[in-house]
RNA sequence: GGAGGUGUGGCCGAGUGGUUUAAGGCAGCAGUCUUGAAAACUGCCGUAGGGGUGACUCUACCGUGAGUUCGAAUCUCACCGCCUCCGCCA
């Protein structure tokens, strides 16, 4: 959420910056609501002041034993007028709030301008792309070839965009998550957290998924409840689309002591996305699933430190790929390609031989105070005043897509897959996945 | 699911209808004293928003939301959280 003061004082510049993100700010509606708000708020508060003063007089008069019927008559219909005015004010405030909640973050000055992903800037590459002297397969053929990846079973159990892993591949998936967690905790100084996978509306509003992106989420309510709207949790629960939501919301409505900063959290969780609107995209394989695992990194920092923290964050994510010896590149997303809450985003893309291209495996963003303002997440500054924090999040990494990259980059001519050195301790020393009993 | 208790500022805690502007304490900040520190003393000390060029001024907020009332931290109702016990459960 943007600072409404900023919109009141510098609307032209803000509108322009938002246009660079392909967002059209409703200038006229905003101005009109503001005008009305000012009028009605003043009116309401005048009525309240009058009521307060009169009530006090009544109290004083009564304590002196005087007759108060005159004063009472005077304010006979004040209550109704005040009530109506308060309702009007409430409506306008929530209309303004509604606008604010759907406005994306402002891009940082260093973000390249552009309308689409074609304007993203590559900033570095790492690793050598391996040349294969045999005909390569994609991860689906490899996984099915060794009998460890079963999409048919997953369709039976759930439907499309789900998968079933078996045997060594299931274990490799677990090994990857463990390896990532261990690296971030032991080498990068993160605090490991275990979070709820079902969260409430407020949490999703705090990080920016709601109210605008409801269709991307899965909603759940208790079984047997025929009228979820009338249940205790009126809005039901939402399955988390990323651990960013529960982790970042740890500081919602909190005032964190400055000494505690920076807070660096890591969690391994499943993520659930409806993938509405992506019909037909990445329908084959593990790339785009309704359920996938991810190791997520979150930094909660002092505003002066957030861009240093962003570099640290992306470095932490890159380290995982380097240890796995997977080639990748880092790009800066342009203004038109950034997510709703981000002021600046780096994506890491890993090399996928079967697609002969780099594919997103991590996204690291500085949200500055955008989420903190929605969450009222603050710290106490040098002067003892509460001030909004800055929040950052990044994947470190998407486990499923990392698995895809390993299958494809480490495939052998005989259909087996070599296991990266750093994962072998997590695999009881196993150094390759191959078909049971086969060579 | 059943029974009982409970929710007040950064923290503890008083407050059962009217000068409450929420007592008092702790923590914090400034000062006096001191070589320095501690102690003692004095003062300051919540958040958000509105109006005004400004000194200033007004409003809201006592878990959340409705209600009663001229007036609600206080009374009523619903919901949420926490605590204790019982039942169930991994």
pLDDT digits (tens, 9 = 90+) for A343-358: 999 999 999 999 999 9
ipTM: 0.81
- Pairwise CA distance, residues A119 & A9, whole Å: 31
Integer distance in angstroms from CA A48 to C1' B16? 25
Integer distance in angstroms from CA A5 to C1' B53? 19
Q: Which nucleotide is nearest to A231 (CA to C1')?
A: B79
Angle between helices A167-186 and A306-324 (to 10 degrees): 140
Picking from A291, A213, A289, A199, the residue whose alpha carbon sits closest to that of residue A248 is A199
Picking from A122, A123, A164, A129, the residue whose alpha carbon sits closest to that of residue A143 is A164
A233 band by pLDDT with thresholds 50, 70 and 90: very low
The pLDDT value recorded for residue A272 is 96
User: Could you tell me how many residues make up chain A?
Assistant: 439
- pTM, 2 dp: 0.92
Integer distance in angstroms from CA A380 to C1' B28? 11
Instruction: Give me the A residues in range 23-82 that sit within 7 A (CB) of strand B.
Output: 38, 41-42, 44-46, 48-49, 51-56, 58-60, 62-63, 72, 75, 78-79
- Check whether residue A428 has its CB closer than 7 Å to nucleic acid strand B: no
- Pairwise CA distance, residues A21 & A53, whole Å: 50
A235 band by pLDDT with thresholds 50, 70 and 90: low
Beta bridge partners of A345: A365
A229 band by pLDDT with thresholds 50, 70 and 90: very low
- Pairwise CA distance, residues A205 & A221, whole Å: 19
Integer distance in angstroms from CA A49 to C1' B55? 22
Q: What is the mean pLDDT of residues A427-439?
A: 84
Picking from A202, A242, A234, the residue whose alpha carbon sits closest to that of residue A218 is A242
Integer distance in angstroms from CA A239 to C1' B7? 30
Instruction: Give me the A residues in range 217-236 that sit within 7 A (CB) of strand B.
Output: 232-233
Which positions in strand B are less than 7 Å from the protein's CB atoms? 10, 18-19, 21, 28-29, 46-51, 58-60, 70-71, 79-81
A439 band by pLDDT with thresholds 50, 70 and 90: very low
Integer distance in angstroms from CA A51 to C1' B72? 14
A53-62, A132-141, A256-265 — which is least confidently predicted?
A: A53-62
What is the β-pairing status of strands A357-366 and A390-398?
antiparallel
- Check whether residue A255 has its CB closer than 7 Å to nucleic acid strand B: yes
The pLDDT value recorded for residue A10 is 86
- Pairwise CA distance, residues A53 & A58, whole Å: 9
Instruction: Give me the A residues in range 86-105 that sit within 7 A (CB) of strand B.
Output: none
The pLDDT value recorded for residue A365 is 98
Integer distance in angstroms from CA A122 to C1' B47? 44
Q: What is the mean pLDDT of residues A31-50?
A: 89
Integer distance in angstroms from CA A383 to C1' B29? 9
Residue A319 has pLDDT above 90, yes or no: yes
């Amino acid at each position: 959420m943007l600072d409404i003061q900023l919109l009141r004082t510098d609307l032209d510049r803000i509108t322009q910056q938002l246009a660079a993100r392909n967002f059209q700010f409703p200038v006229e509606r905003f101005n009109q609501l503001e005008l009305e708000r000012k009028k009605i708020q003043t009116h309401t508060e005048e009525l309240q002041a009058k009521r307060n003063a009169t009530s006090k007089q009544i109290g004083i008069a009564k304590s002196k034993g005087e007759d108060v019927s005159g004063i009472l008559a005077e304010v006979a219909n004040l209550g109704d007028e005040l009530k109506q005015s308060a309702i009007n004010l409430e409506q306008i405030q929530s209309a303004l709030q509604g606008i604010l909640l759907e406005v994306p973050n402002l891009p940082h000055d260093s973000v390249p301008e552009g309308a689409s992903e074609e304007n993203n800037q590559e900033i570095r590459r790492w690793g050598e792309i391996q040349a294969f002297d045999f005909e390569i397969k994609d991860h689906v053929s490899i996984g099915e070839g060794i009998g460890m990846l079963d999409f048919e079973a997953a369709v039976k159990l759930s439907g499309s965009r789900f998968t079933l892993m078996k045997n060594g591949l299931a274990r490799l998936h677990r090994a990857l998550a463990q390896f990532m967690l261990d690296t971030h905790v032991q080498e990068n100084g993160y605090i490991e957290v275990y979070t709820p996978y079902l969260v409430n509306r407020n949490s999703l509003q705090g990080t920016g998924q709601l109210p605008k992106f409801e269709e991307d989420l899965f909603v759940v309510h208790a079984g047997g409840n025929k009228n979820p709207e009338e249940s205790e949790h009126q809005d039901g629960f939402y399955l988390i689309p990323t651990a960013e939501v529960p982790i970042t919301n740890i500081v919602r409505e909190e005032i964190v002591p400055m000494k505690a900063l920076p807070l660096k959290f890591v969690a391994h969780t499943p993520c659930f996305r409806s993938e509405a609107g992506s019909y037909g995209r990445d329908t084959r394989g593990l790339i785009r699933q309704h359920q996938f695992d991810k190791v997520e990194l979150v930094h909660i920092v002092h505003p002066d430190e957030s861009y240093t923290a962003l570099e640290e964050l992306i470095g932490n994510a890159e380290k995982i790929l380097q240890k796995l010896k997977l080639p990748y590149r880092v790009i800066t997303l342009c203004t038109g390609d950034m997510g709703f809450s981000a002021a600046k985003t780096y994506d890491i893309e890993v090399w996928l031989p079967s697609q002969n291209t780099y594919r997103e495996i991590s996204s690291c963003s500085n949200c500055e105070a955008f989420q903190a303002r929605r969450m009222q997440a603050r710290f106490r500054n040098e002067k003892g005043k509460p001030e909004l924090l800055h929040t950052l999040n990044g994947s470190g990494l998407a486990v499923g897509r990392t698995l895809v990259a390993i299958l494809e980059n480490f495939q052998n001519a005989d259909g087996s897959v070599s296991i990266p050195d750093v994962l072998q301790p997590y695999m009881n020393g196993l150094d390759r996945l191959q078909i049971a009993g086969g060579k």
